[in-house]
Amino acid sequence: MAQAKTTINRRSFLKASALAGGGLMLSFSWLAGCKPKDEELLTMPDEWFDLNNYIKIGNNGVVTLMSPNPEFGSNVKTSMPMILAEELDVDWKNVIVQQADFYPERYDRQFTGGSQGIRQGWKPLRTAGATARHMLIEASAKQWNVPANEITTEGGVLHHKGSGKKAGYGEMASIAATIPVPTEVAIKKISDFKIIGNSKLNVEGKNIVTGKPLFGIDHKEEGMLIAMIVHPPFGMMIKSLDASSVKSMPGIKDAFTIKTLTEDYERNGFDTTSFLELGVIVGNTTWEVMNAKKALKLEFELMPEYSMTMQHHRLGKVTAVMPKGLESSDGHRVEMEKASKGKGDILRKDGNPEAAFKNAAKVLERTYSAPHLAHNTMEPANCFANVTADKCEIYGPIQAPGFITDTLAARLGLPKEKIHIKLARMGGGFGVRAYGHHLVEAAVISQQVKAPIKLIYTREDDMTYGIYRPAYTATYRAALDKDNNLIGFHVSGGGIPEHPIHANRFPAGAVDNYLAEGWAIPSNITIGAFRAPRSNFNAAAEQSFLDELAELVGKDPIDFRLELLERAKTKPVGENNDYDPDRYAGVLKLVREKSNWNQKPANVSRGVAAYFCHNTYVAEVVDLKLSGNNPVIENVFAAVDCGIVVNPDAAKNMGEGGIVDGIGNALFGEMTFKEGVPDKNNFHQYRMIRQKETPKNIEVHFVKNEEDPTGLGEPLFPPVFAAVANALYKATGKRYYNQPFAKDIETSPQRM
């Protein structure tokens, strides 16, 4: 067995005092997690211990496992406890999983995002389980007076083969609580795993399908009022609000404006808030407040330009400029086209790309674009808040509660330790729930009305409020010599209001002369993380360009990529390449095999793409045909290298969801603006993929290895954009450079 240090960080492992009723509580900084299974399935111990940060073992052997990460559908509530249970060596049927509240002083990373939950929890969770198991073994050795190395465990039972003695974990729990926490423990060999790698049902599955109140929008408390907000167009602010226009309406308590942030507050990167002042209506019921919202009289005026200093999570301290004026998508396109003809900031330069292009026998140049996208989570923003003079209680959907606590404390004038955030299950996240503006708004409203309130966004509020995927464009250029060898590569990308370029990703490292540039245009339309930020555009553009380049040099698109990866492996250029060429090539080879690439069905057109992001490698093949002007996706084959797969069925489900989401956004996703107003405010206008448009067949295949797990929630999303575009080219004879693709299919000459 490998050895693992138990002192992972300053509060990594705390042992509680001996517990009443024979229970063992082990506290560990990475544990917190899920709702219990139905109690009738388990016989409960005599007493559960209401303690924090723990593995909890009852005197009858029932185990409660906790995990800090909020849940929004990525299934961390099942997968993270599976890791813990594996090393604890407990029978999964005797496990209860429970959701922790937000406790930054007790947990290190209560953040679901960036596809990092399992990756960053892997070693700490394994160590936690292994340490608990070690202490139970030591307890039984002491009780039985036998060497600890002669004791084995299986399914929550301790065995000593020589004497024939055995005991359940519950019988040894109270003694184990007196054992010193070891500084180092043995963790299992991967070949000995029994739980990890074997599919387990979602621990919340039954509650979800039977409509149990799990989500923030379900929450109710005695005396709770309902609040809704009204916001101006982008580039404007509230001039006046006439509360008398609604105060006499049934059920309405008040109408007023709030400041979402104080003027002197220095934001962090997740303090994005689209509107510094909002109109608010508070009343008894949702229906009454919705009616008053329609009748509320407001006046808006132009907002002046302003700038703010903020601590960006990726770029460090930056100054963000919010320009004045009412922006429109038509104007954005003109600005981006103009900016793309100039020079951007050099992000990476290898060799002499200028000379390579000057001396090239051929140059291929193509420009790609993508619009803003709205997140459109199924559950609109909402939050319960109860703020009193000395405390703040919050219950709502949030991916990153740690990023909003300072904001709440500064805005409310309360110390952070007086702010308690309970984590609701989210009805979707996709990055937008990393921004906690709705928590701040709810808390400020509660503080002002001096009552508990539930803030509810309407669908129109949620779609028009902001925090969109940026609009992007990128120009790719390739220089070829007379023998069609790739001698130079140049990408220049920009956007509103950030550039999309990952300068050190493939094909960086595979070309002698390489240049990456980035530029950005300030905007008062607020943007934020969107499933696989920046990668969701990069993959579409880069992989479409590589396909066209492969065709120009007369090579199979998979073979062409594999040749570049071989170069990156055997003679890499530069030192900062952030991918492993072998693992990258591995998924291309696997998808070639699983899709039977060289023998495609006769009636479909086929496209391929591959991409590396969030520490994971994905290759995808799409088979489609056209029915009139409508693309019909027959098959999607995906090959994924994300290291060890903890929960295979859940992993496949997540992959399938990412693929469907990617196809929908590639074909239909678009948010545009006119004079600061989004042109879509509900699903009758904002085109989403429909059930009949989803692929008829999706196969997700995982590379089998013993690498530590990496990301999975996002990596299958980006490459499918390009795989669809490349398949559409084969079907229509036309290359697709501008998202959403469906708009251009109508004008395409069709071919099969």
pLDDT digit string, tens, across residues 619-677: 999 999 999 989 999 999 999 999 999 999 999 999 999 999 999 999 999 999 999 99
CA separation (Å) from 317 to 269, 314, 327, 341? Answer: 9, 9, 26, 28
CA separation (Å) from 392 to 66, 244, 404, 412, 641? Answer: 24, 30, 13, 9, 43
Report the SS3 class of residue 29: coil
What does the alpha-carbon distance between residue 486 and residue 481 come to, in Å, rounded to a whole number? 7
Query: How many whole angstroms from its chain centre is CA 343?
Result: 32
Please tell us whether the domain made up of 219-306+375-464 is placed in CATH 3.40.50.1580.
Answer: no
CA separation (Å) from 362 to 136, 358, 423, 553, 611? Answer: 70, 10, 57, 10, 26
Report the SS3 class of residue 415: coil
Q: Which one-letter amino acid corresponds to residue 617? A: Y
pLDDT of 102 reads: 86
* Cis status, amide bond into 719, omega within 30 of 0: no
Architecture of domain 2-192: 2-Layer Sandwich (3.30)
The predicted-structure confidence for 16-38, as pLDDT tens digits, reads as follows 333 334 455 554 443 333 333 34
* Of the options 3.40.50.300, 3.30.365.10, 3.30.1230.10, 3.40.50.800, the CATH number for the domain spanning 537-745: 3.30.365.10
What does the alpha-carbon distance between residue 699 and residue 255 come to, in Å, rounded to a whole number? 53
pLDDT of 21 reads: 40
Residues of the chain with pLDDT under 70: 1, 4-54, 106-107, 746-752
Sign of CA dihedral 350, 355, 361, 363: positive
| The token pair that represents 289 in the structure block | 């407040």
The angle that helices 648-668 and 718-732 make with each other, rounded to 10 degrees, is 50
What does the alpha-carbon distance between residue 463 and residue 425 come to, in Å, rounded to a whole number? 20
pLDDT of 749 reads: 52
Q: Which one-letter amino acid corresponds to residue 522? A: P
| 634, 624 Cβ separation under 8 angstroms | yes
Q: What is the DSSP string of 106-144?
A: T-S-----TT-HHHHHHHHHHHHHHHHHHHHHHHHHHHH
**Partners of 621 in the beta sheet?**
608, 637
Q: Which one-letter amino acid corresponds to residue 192? A: D
CA separation (Å) from 426 to 111, 208, 324, 398, 433? Answer: 13, 12, 34, 7, 8
Report the SS3 class of residue 290: helix
Q: Which one-letter amino acid corresponds to residue 729? A: Y
Domain with CATH 3.30.365.10 in the chain: 2-192, 219-306+375-464, 537-745
- What is the H or E stretch that residue 283 is in? strand 277-283
Task: Convert 32-57 to b/e letters by CB count within 10 Å (16 or more is b).
Answer: bbbbbbeeeebeebeebbeebbbbbb
What does the alpha-carbon distance between residue 488 and residue 515 come to, in Å, rounded to a whole number? 8
Q: Which phi and psi (to 5°) does residue 112 adopt? A: -105, 110
pLDDT of 106 reads: 67
CA separation (Å) from 14 to 8, 54, 83, 120, 242? Answer: 12, 9, 19, 20, 56
What does the alpha-carbon distance between residue 242 and residue 297 come to, in Å, rounded to a whole number? 5
pLDDT of 750 reads: 52
What does the alpha-carbon distance between residue 658 and residue 531 come to, in Å, rounded to a whole number? 9
**How would you classify the pairing of strands 225-230 and 453-456?**
parallel
Query: How many whole angstroms from its chain centre is CA 648?
Result: 19
What does the alpha-carbon distance between residue 256 and residue 158 come to, in Å, rounded to a whole number? 64
